[in-house]
Structure 1
Amino acid sequence: MKIATWNINGIKARIENLRQWLADFSPDIVCLQEIKSVDEGFPRLEIEALGYHVETHGQKGFNGVAILSKRKPDEVMRGLPGDDSDEQSRYIEAVFSVPSGVVRVASIYLPNGNPSDDPVKYPYKLAWMERLRRHAEQRLTLEEPLILAGDYNVIPEPHDCFDPTVWATDALFLPQTRAAFRRLEHLGLTDAVRATSDQTKLYTFWDYQAGAWQKNNGIRIDHLMLSPEAADRLRATSIEKTVRAWEKPSDHVPVVGYFDFA
């Protein structure tokens, strides 16, 4: 199975790119972030025409996540537990039947948190990460393949960005952010890309400004985090860099995990 995550940066602006990639690459499950669309405004028919089932958790103009899949999920949960007052659409989770049992997949759009000295935005990011940690801890007790896929807005290590000094005071790279990400990892989750490659300059995001793509001034912030049961079935990963060179691209590219769930 090919399971991917992609911050699409606006589904309506990027629908043709998405349709082309789905047709060419044929992933089994795709976790989208930043769809920037309410549920009823999502271009469902165009995607269903390619043979995909669509589940969304949208929000007008901002945020929003979705899961596209070749098979219909057995169950779907919208929203990250732990704060009933949180109105931002940043989490959707689905369970799929596979030959070996089930696989649980979540699409995550973690808060950016910038500016890091903002009295609301950065604390919200850290609180959201703690909610995610608690939820992941609970899900891990199920002892099933779990894939937490998404735009984490976290640069885990210095070699995951082109120049650590540029990002030193950014919310994506602050020590508190990276420590929160490590607490998530320490539950027993595996970073799929780093489990399959120790290469440097593996990036998933290039800013639209200052020729970042042309200079390869990127960062790695899109991750597939795996439970032990999912990590045992991981065979390979890929970062679909070529998509960034397409017309009207997202500033993120798909990250794909290849799994054996036979």
Structure 2
Amino acid sequence: MKIATWNVNSIRTRLVQVVNWLQENPVDALCLQETKVQDAEFPRSPFEDLGYHLYISGQKSYNGVAILSQKPLEDVTIGFDPILGISDFDEQKRVITGVIDDIRVVNLYVPNGSEVGSEKYDYKLRWLKVLRDYLHALLEKQPSGMCVCGDFNIALEDKDIHNPKGREKLVMATDLERQALQQVLELGLSDAFRKFTSEDGHFSWWDYRAAGFERNRGWRIDHHYLTPILYERALACAIDIAPRKLTQPSDHTPVIVEF
């Protein structure tokens, strides 16, 4: 089984690229972030024509998550509210989950945080605390096979940044963000990519500005975190940089885990 995560930065803008990628990489499930489209306007037909079932949670112009799966998902829920009874954080469409072949896939678009000390930064830290409670509740329902993936907007280690100098003052790399994510991982989740690749220089996001991709000035902020049994079953986890080389690409690129 292969599960991929990809922040596409507008599914309608990147539609042809995503369809072409799926034709060349027919993963069992593709988790999308920043779809930036209301559900009624999501371009379903091109993916359904490829045999994928679509589970979407979107909004106009911002955020939005979706799971495309070759098999129908079971126990699909959207947002924190169905699990925690908390609706305060669900106006922004950032969370969707479902089960495929006894593996619970949790697709997340973690808030960016904007600037350190801003209201959006505080919101991000509060959101991560709610995420921990949410995943804890899901783990009680599905204690073994869980893949928590998506755009986390956090580089957990210095080697996940092309130049970590001064990172303490940079959103996506501050100590508070890292601590908040680490508290989530303490539920028993491990980084699939680091099972197979320990060195630096591997990134999943590059700024459009200043030739970020061409100079490999990137950050690794798109992750697959796995429960212990699933972590042991993982055969590979790779970052596919090919889509980032295309004309008008997303600033992120797919990350694929294989079991």
Shorter-chain TM-score range? over 0.9
1:144 CA displacement: 2.5
Structure 2: gaps (5+ residues): none
State the SS of the aligned residue for 2:96.
strand
Deviations 1:177-223 (A, max 9, x none): 00111111211101010112102111000010001011000000000
Structure 1: gaps (5+ residues): none
| C-alpha separation in 2, matches of 1:211 and 1:171 | 20
Choose which of 84, 88, 101 in structure 1 pairs with 2:87. Answer: 84
Question: In terms of mean alpha carbon deviation, does 75-84 or 104-113 score higher?
Answer: 75-84
> What is the number of equivalent residue pairs in this alignment?
254
Question: In terms of mean alpha carbon deviation, does 178-187 or 139-148 score higher?
Answer: 139-148
| C-alpha separation in 1, matches of 2:135 and 2:88 | 20
State the SS of the aligned residue for 1:230.
helix
What is the identity, as a one-letter code, of the residue corresponding to 2:124?
Answer: K
Q: Corresponding residue for 1:11?
A: 11
CA RMSD of aligned residues (A): 1.1
Q: Corresponding residue for 2:64?
A: 64
1:22 CA displacement: 0.2
TM normalised by structure 2 equals 0.95
Q: Corresponding residue for 1:241?
A: 241
| C-alpha separation in 2, matches of 1:155 and 1:135 | 21
What is the identity, as a one-letter code, of the residue corresponding to 1:11?
Answer: I
Contact 1:80 1:90 in 2 (8 A): no
| C-alpha separation in 2, matches of 1:227 and 1:138 | 14
State the SS of the aligned residue for 2:17.
helix
1:121 CA displacement: 0.6
Identity of aligned residues (%): 38
Task: Give the 4+ runs in structure 1 shifted more than 6 A.
Answer: none
Q: Corresponding residue for 2:187?
A: 187
Contact 1:143 1:229 in 2 (8 A): no
What is the identity, as a one-letter code, of the residue corresponding to 1:145?
Answer: G
| C-alpha separation in 2, matches of 1:247 and 1:163 | 26
Q: How does 1:136-175 map to 2 (within 5 A)?
A: 136-141=135-140, 142-165=142-165, 167-175=167-175
Q: How does 1:1-150 map to 2 (within 5 A)?
A: 1-81=1-81, 82=84, 83-86=86-89, 87-96=91-100, 98=101, 102-118=102-118, 120-141=119-140, 142-150=142-150
